[in-house]
Amino acid sequence: MDEPVVEVLTVATPSLVDSVEALVGQVTRTRDVAALSDGRRRALHAAAASRRPEAFLAVVALDRPHGTVIGYAQVDGEGDPSAVSMESVSSGDDAAGRAVADQVLDTALAAVAASGGAQVRLWVTTPSDADDERALRRGFTVERELLQLRCPLPLAPATVGEVVVTTRPFAVGRDEEAWLATNNRAFAGHPEQGAWDLSTIRSREAEPWFDPDGFRVLELDGRLAGSCWTKRHAATPPLGEIYVISVDPDFHGRGLGRALTRAGLDWLAATGLDTGMLYVDGANTPAVTLYRSMGFTEHHRDRAYTTTVSAAPVLPGVPAP
């Protein structure tokens, strides 16, 4: 096979979106796990819609002579260029595919260095030994793991003594502030979920999948004590996700987390779904213990590696990407 052409991109176009979605679709079907996260795909689509060069950094590998995208990496700063996260996808697990993955990653790291350097978090879905080796050889260390757990629905009936609660749908335009306060307290210190603000929740309310009926809220003592926010996926097989679940720390340990998990899963089952799914940090012992005790088992895991990439020396006459 000819060497692929590897390019750094600072602008996303609709045709890039199509090519990347085609690659992601193909790899997702082959490996039965999402090859690029929803968040990364959302950022790609947003970058193509805005076409702002400063908001986008990606690498593509194109095969020759067809120009088909066979490898892709995307670097997202989420407003902070000194701490970026990155995912990559390539079309094969054989030696040629691994070589493409190496080239894409090296080019992306060089692009980060040329843009001034950053703390880089690299996410890999279903990490193989080759993924571990690729990351570790480049100075990354394992930072954390995100497990995707699944369970059959409907759940078995609640056991004797299990707390059961009555929940209500989320009230758009009224519950946001109270929910943010509870959620941010519950997730204090969490890298992605502990610092949501009004704009974050409003952006999710604008998503096509958002359904306030599937966002179950629990009020106790006149307060929003917790919630279980679900999301229906039209994937094959259709999945019902527990998207965000939290109990205010003042109410922990009273059986409410279990009750809210059940409330969310019961709602998903009532809409006809027979598989529940969620993501949980592997180190979140309370949540992992809770989910396993309710019948969830691991479907796959994502691993985050981290390293510091120093700024590359600026060479006269060589423009940064």
Ligand X SMILES: CC(C)(COP(=O)(O)OP(=O)(O)OC[C@H]1O[C@@H](n2cnc3c(N)ncnc32)[C@H](O)[C@@H]1OP(=O)(O)O)[C@@H](O)C(=O)NCCC(=O)NCCS
Work out whether 287 is an interface residue with ligand X (CB under 6 A): yes
CB of 250 to ligand X, least distance (A): 10
Work out whether 159 is an interface residue with ligand X (CB under 6 A): no
In order, the DSSP letters of 69-118 are EEEEEEEE-TT-TTEEEEEEEES-SSHHHHHHHHHHHHHHHHHHHHTT-E
**For ligand X, the closer CB: 104 or 287:** 287
Work out whether 310 is an interface residue with ligand X (CB under 6 A): no
Helix (H) or strand (E) holding 144: strand 141-152
**For ligand X, the closer CB: 28 or 284:** 284
- Cis ω for the linkage preceding 313 (within 30 of 0): no
Work out whether 126 is an interface residue with ligand X (CB under 6 A): no
Rg (C-alpha) for the chain, rounded Å, is 21
**For ligand X, the closer CB: 163 or 314:** 163
CB of 270 to ligand X, least distance (A): 21
CB of 254 to ligand X, least distance (A): 5
Among the listed ranges 39-47, 122-130, 247-255, 262-270, the one in contact with ligand X (CB under 6 A) is 247-255
The site for ligand X, by CB under 6 A, has a size of: 21
Helix (H) or strand (E) holding 287: helix 285-293
Strand pairing category for 141-152 and 297-309: antiparallel
- The residues near 301 (Cβ < 8 Å, ≥ 6 apart) are 126, 127, 145, 146, 147, 148, 282
Which backbone phi and psi does 306 adopt, to 5 degrees?
Answer: -135, 150
Exactly one of 168, 254, 300, 301 binds ligand X (CB under 6 A); that residue is 254
Could you tell me the CA-to-CA distances from 179 to 144, 153, 213, 251 in Å, in that order?
27, 27, 15, 14
Work out whether 25 is an interface residue with ligand X (CB under 6 A): no
Exactly one of 28, 126, 284, 306 binds ligand X (CB under 6 A); that residue is 284
Work out whether 252 is an interface residue with ligand X (CB under 6 A): yes
Asked whether the beta carbons of 192 and 280 are under 8 A apart, the reply is no
Work out whether 286 is an interface residue with ligand X (CB under 6 A): yes
Strand pairing category for 83-90 and 118-125: parallel
Farthest-apart Cα atoms in the chain, separation: 74
Work out whether 299 is an interface residue with ligand X (CB under 6 A): no
Helix (H) or strand (E) holding 241: strand 239-247
Work out whether 280 is an interface residue with ligand X (CB under 6 A): yes
**For ligand X, the closer CB: 13 or 293:** 293
State the number of CA atoms in the 13 A half-sphere of 140 facing the CB. Answer: 26
Among the listed ranges 19-27, 102-110, 115-123, 256-264, the one in contact with ligand X (CB under 6 A) is 256-264
Exactly one of 159, 166, 199, 285 binds ligand X (CB under 6 A); that residue is 285
Among the listed ranges 90-98, 120-128, 129-137, 246-254, the one in contact with ligand X (CB under 6 A) is 246-254
- Chain positions 187 to 206 lying near ligand X, rule: CB under 6 A, are 187
CB of 167 to ligand X, least distance (A): 14
Closest residue to ligand X in the complex (CB) = 257
Exactly one of 61, 239, 247, 263 binds ligand X (CB under 6 A); that residue is 247
How long, in residues, is the chain?
321
> Which residues form the interface with ligand X (CB under 6 A)?
186-187, 245-247, 252-258, 278, 280, 284-287, 289-290, 293
